Amino acid sequence: MASDEVYRASTYAPVNIAVIKYWGKRDPKLNLPTNSSLSVTLSQDDLRTHTTASCSSSTPHDSLILNGHDQDISGARTQACLHDLRQHRQQLESSDPSLPKLSTMKLKLVSENNFPTAAGLASSAAGFAALVRAIADLYALPLTPTQLSRIARQGSGSACRSLMGGYVAWEKGTAADGSDSVAYEVAPAHHWLEMRALILVASAAKKDVSSTAGMQQTVASSSLFEKRVDEVVPKRMKAMEKAVQERDFEAFARLSMKDSNNFHACCLDTDPPIFYMNDTSRCAVRLCEAINSHHETQSGKAGAICAYTFDAGPNAVVYYLADNEQAVAGLFKGILQGKEGWEGKRGGSVKEKED
């Protein structure tokens, strides 16, 4: 019988790692950022969320199970995403009465992360991107990734950048209703296929200060942050887009490291100070610096071959080009293998799977 029919759609969404960081909201309700940001989407063969969305007339209530555990989805952010997606479906149903009334059915969402949740590895980015896309697929919504990014942004800011592959910018926008605060593709993954990302897990523990809380403490108390928003990031966004367009790794690396350091300096300038990086993280910074200096000495010319970046947690992401696999990833793995403080390591690529 049609009334018992179960409708279902599944999708993956990858993690993205920002090289120009999002930190701070100008409108917490609509989740609008104080500055634009730019990220690299990792291959979904590496770190990703898989989500299945289903509904039927007998589904009792909206629910989300993440890694086997029931999640509370009553929060305003998840509700905003569900509301918008249902509204889009309702519009389709009104224009074509033969469509099943999925918008009136409750949703069952089942997600799995293949990496530590809430440990500064962008789990909310992949999580909300997968949730929004799975429901959009279930509802057969004719929306572009940029249109979906506007919905996912309400769930978690960084999620809007996980709806596209490759190099993605999130334009902060100026409209009060957030309509122009969306993600767009700066370049597809195949534009710079040689890019690789090594994820160094310094700690898989849940972070002390959530990004959402931490960034608003920074907005309220850091004077360094004002300069970051007004001057530093607008210039860097342009320079980073250019570096990506021109596949200029040296510029990409310098900008990434500087922006990570500027973001963590703003965290330190927050009252009370927020420490996301730890001794193990600083060890990764030193190692990157040493690799770059060694390369410069050996080659006799300036040019970074690796770039570290840290999100709201101690784990390092190190970008490098495939040609320097041995000089960067090989060295990191050799030195850190089994070393105390590093609980695990993952190699990732932007497009193709690496071990």
Number of residues lying near ligand 2P0 (CB under 6 A): 16
Beta-carbon contacts of residue 190 (< 8 Å; ≥ 6 apart): 166, 351
Cα–Cα dist 321/310, whole Å: 18
Contact string 211-240 vs ligand 2P0 (x = CB under 6 A): xx----------------------------
**Of the two residues 31 and 281, which places its CB atom closer to ligand 2P0 in the complex?**
31
Q: Residue 39 in contact with residue 85, Cβ under 8 Å?
A: no
Cβ atoms of residues 162 and 13 within 8 Å: yes
Q: Which residue from 154, 153, 152, 162 is spatially nearest to 126, judged by alpha carbons?
A: 162
Tell me how far, at minimum, the Cβ of 61 lies from ligand 2P0, in Å. 24
Point out which span in 95-103, 105-113, 122-130, 233-241 binds ligand 2P0 (CB under 6 A): 122-130
157 touches ligand 2P0 by CB under 6 A? yes
Amino acid at 285: V
Q: Measuring CA to CA, how many Å separate 23 from each of 77, 213, 215, 249?
A: 17, 11, 5, 24
- Binding to ligand 2P0 by CB under 6 A, coded x per residue (else -) over 71-110, reads ----------------------------------------
55 or 233, CB closer to ligand 2P0?
A: 233
Which 29-68 residues touch ligand 2P0, going by CB under 6 A? Answer: 31, 37
Q: What letter does residue 288 receive in the DSSP assignment?
A: H
Near ligand 2P0 in 285-324, by CB under 6 A: 311-312
* Region 197-216 residues binding ligand 2P0, contact defined as CB under 6 A: 211-212
Give residue 200's Cα distance to chain centre: 16
The helices-and-strands tally (H runs, E runs) of the chain is 10, 15
Nearer to ligand 2P0, 156 or 315 (CB): 156
Q: In the set 13, 14, 15, 22, which binds ligand 2P0 (CB under 6 A)?
A: 22
User: Does 113 participate in binding ligand 2P0 (rule CB under 6 A)?
Assistant: no
In 3D, which of 148, 106, 119 has the Cα closest to residue 131?
Answer: 148
Residues that bind ligand 2P0 (CB under 6 A): 18, 21-23, 31, 37, 122, 124-125, 156-158, 211-212, 311-312
